[in-house]
Amino acid sequence: MKYIYLMPLALLFSCNEKETVTEKNEKFCLNDDLKKKVTIEEIKREPVSETFTLTGNVTYNSDNVIQFTSLINGVVTNTYFSLGDYVKKGQVLAEIKSTELNGLQSENKSVESQLAVAQRQLASVKSMFEDGIASQKDLIQAESEVKVLKASLENIKSNLALYSASPEKSVFQIKAPSNGFIVAKNMSSGMQISSGSDPLFTISDLNEVWVMVNIYATDMQNIKENMEVKIKTLAYPDEVFSGKISALSQVFDAEEHVLKARIVMKNTDLKLKPGMSADIILNKSNASAESLFAVPVKAVIFDDNQNFLVVYKDDCNLEIRQVDPVTKNREVVYFDKGIQENEKIISKNQLLIYESLK
> Residue 25 has what pLDDT?
42
In terms of pLDDT, which residue wins out, 160 or 141? 141
Give the angle 133-134-135 at the CA atoms, nearest 5°.
125
349-358 confidence digits (pLDDT tens): 888 888 888 7
* In the predicted structure, residue 73 carries a pLDDT above the cut 90: no
Residues 223 and 262: their CA atoms lie apart, in Å, by 12
Residues 209 and 233: their CA atoms lie apart, in Å, by 14
Residues 118 and 107: their CA atoms lie apart, in Å, by 16
What average pLDDT is seen over the chain?
Answer: 82
> Residue 286 has what pLDDT?
62
**Mean pLDDT throughout 150-179?**
76
Residues 99 and 77: their CA atoms lie apart, in Å, by 13
Q: How many CB atoms lie within 10 A of CB 47?
A: 15
> Residue 290 has what pLDDT?
80
* In the predicted structure, residue 184 carries a pLDDT above the cut 50: yes
